[in-house]
Structure 1
Amino acid sequence: MLDPGDITNEELERVGREAEQTIKRIAGLQERLAAIRGTGSGADGRIVVNADPSGRIDSIDLHPRVMRLASAELSEELLRAVNAAQDDCARQTSALMAEIGVGSVMDKAVFEKMERHLTDAHTAFLNEIERYGR
């Protein structure tokens, strides 16, 4: 059993600083995830598709000359560009997760839940430190 009397003030301060740093890293990660934008192209660059961090398409740019393609070819090239944009988002997200040591892709809700949990734990920890200091 842990005896709070055995914990030094320096150890408590160190743990508190580490918890604050972890919370800041998670917030920074959320910002970096939100900034991800995927891009894909088709028809020799005449179709450009952009996707948001969730992989949803947020813009499609069609060069006027792309309208000269047959409808089946246009569909195929558009689909190729959409898939490339979504794949680009997934690749960037996976690379970011690997950079921080997370093996699988986690969505924003998971990070928000982790951040809330760490913030709550940090607050409870600071309250305990204050209580023992009285």
Structure 2
Amino acid sequence: MSWPAPDQDQEYLEQVLQQTRDAMRHLREAKRVIGEIEGKGEAADGMILATTDAGGSIRRIDINPRALRLDTTTLSREVIRAIQAAQEASARQAKEIVDGVAGHVGLLPEPLDETFVQHRIEAAARDLYSGGL
């Protein structure tokens, strides 16, 4: 891993903080947009319409009175088809949003770890022993 020079630590930290703020802004926006998702599905030639949220929970089912002419087995199968189509649509929309924000969050630098601190201590010790401090 390549670290910033000690005299660039402040600038590096400010850059990381700004990148983190930007990533958090993108995540908050993604969360808001995901909360507004409505997946729509239909079955029985459009006589049954279902709406779900991003998590797949059913928000609404509309059944045209003509669909009630179907036998109960067919009607229940068609309702399930409409719900599944709506859930797939909402899942697809949520995935697109998550994939879009992942590019912004993925731009964050690797976190500094104990090897960074060790590197800084060793550099300071070298400077101290060589009279650089």
Range of TM-score over shorter length: 0.5 to 0.7
1:30 maps to: 31
- Whole-angstrom distance in 2 between the partners of 1:80 and 1:3: 56
TM-score norm. by structure 2 comes to 0.65
| Equivalent residue runs for 1:34-53 within 5 Å | 34-53=35-54
| AA matched with 1:40 | G
RMSD (Å) for aligned C-alpha atoms: 2.3
Q: How much does 1:3 deviate?
A: 9.5
2:21 maps to: 20
Q: Secondary structure at the match of 2:59?
A: strand
| Equivalent residue runs for 1:35-74 within 5 Å | 35-74=36-75
Runs of 4+ in structure 1 off by over 6 angstroms are none
TM-score norm. by structure 1 comes to 0.65
Q: How much does 1:4 deviate?
A: 9.4
- Rg: which structure is higher? 2
- The number of residue pairs the alignment matches comes to 101
- Whole-angstrom distance in 1 between the partners of 2:79 and 2:30: 32
| AA matched with 1:64 | P
- Whole-angstrom distance in 2 between the partners of 1:37 and 1:93: 10
Q: Give the share of equivalent positions with the same residue, in percent.
A: 32
Per-residue CA shift, 1:85-124, capped at 9, x if unaligned?
A: 111111112222233347xxxxxxxxxxxxxxxxxxxxxx
Which runs of 5 or more structure 2 residues have no equivalent in the other structure?
A: 104-133
